[in-house]
């Protein structure tokens, strides 16, 4: 079966490394905070001015003034720092974020990403996405493999306005984990019960499939 939102976040959390400064985008990426592996310490950054986000609050922990960039209530981890949005973007633009996790409408085989607008639909603005894809050292995109009509979102060329060019390193979808390199998607893992044939059928861009594709493991 396709991965749930929580399982996608859980799989992304395995990419975290001790000492990383990590920016989590709106939506599925924010769930990664709930799955940081034991034994490592990371500092999660929210672009509105919080470094050191903790997991989502319980009912007793909710503080309406403590929010992330998506205006969701969050907690602060031990050692957290709160500062202005300007300082937060200086951190991003200065290349001090080790990993960014964000969503997308489309990604193509060159590592281009379209994530901020669909023409003729409501556009709320690009937020910090363009700064993040330009400033982070490593970028993971999380998304569904296909849209609600069954059409692939992993393309040979993005059709929507781009957020960034040649910047996506890895993609975690509800069906697979893929690496973007050498002008192609390289299949690394598949969701439990998902066949390679299904992934191939739902990937419009060039896909490199190794002889053996392991299933993801969730403990």
In order, the DSSP letters of 133-149 are HHH-S-EEEEE-SB-TT
Structure tokens at 32: 């990664």
Q: How far apart are CA 106 and CA 125, in angstroms?
A: 17
Q: How far apart are CA 195 and CA 206, in angstroms?
A: 18
154-155 vs 170-173, strand pairing mode: unpaired
Judge whether 179 counts as a catalytic residue: no
Q: How far apart are CA 75 and CA 53, in angstroms?
A: 6
Catalytic residue among 6, 47, 87, 211: 47
Q: How far apart are CA 173 and CA 4, in angstroms?
A: 10
Kindly report the number of other CB atoms within 10 A of residue 62's CB atom.
12
Residues tagged active-site = 47
């Amino acid at each position: 079966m396709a991965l749930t939102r929580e399982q996608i976040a859980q799989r992304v959390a395995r990419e975290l490394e001790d000492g990383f400064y990590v920016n989590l985008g709106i939506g599925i990426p924010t769930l990664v905070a709930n799955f940081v592996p034991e034994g490592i310490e990371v500092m999660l950054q929210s672009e509105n001015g919080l470094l050191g986000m903790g997991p989502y609050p319980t009912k007793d922990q909710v503080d309406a003034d403590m929010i992330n960039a998506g205006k969701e209530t969050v907690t602060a981890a031990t050692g957290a720092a709160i500062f202005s949005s300007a300082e937060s973007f200086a951190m991003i633009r200065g290349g001090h974020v080790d990993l960014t996790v964000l969503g997308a409408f489309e990604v193509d085989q060159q590592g281009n990403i379209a994530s901020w607008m669909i023409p003729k639909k409501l556009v709320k603005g690009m937020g910090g996405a363009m700064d993040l894809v330009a400033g982070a050292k490593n970028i993971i995109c999380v998304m569904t493999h296909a849209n609600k009509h069954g059409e692939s979102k992993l393309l040979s060329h993005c059709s929507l306005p781009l957020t960034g060019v040649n910047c996506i390193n890895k993609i975690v979808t509800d069906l697979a984990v893929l690496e973007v390199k050498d002008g192609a998607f390289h299949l690394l893992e598949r969701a439990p019960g998902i066949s390679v044939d299904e992934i191939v059928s739902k990937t419009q861009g060039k896909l490199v499939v190794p002889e053996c594709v392991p299933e993801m493991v969730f403990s």
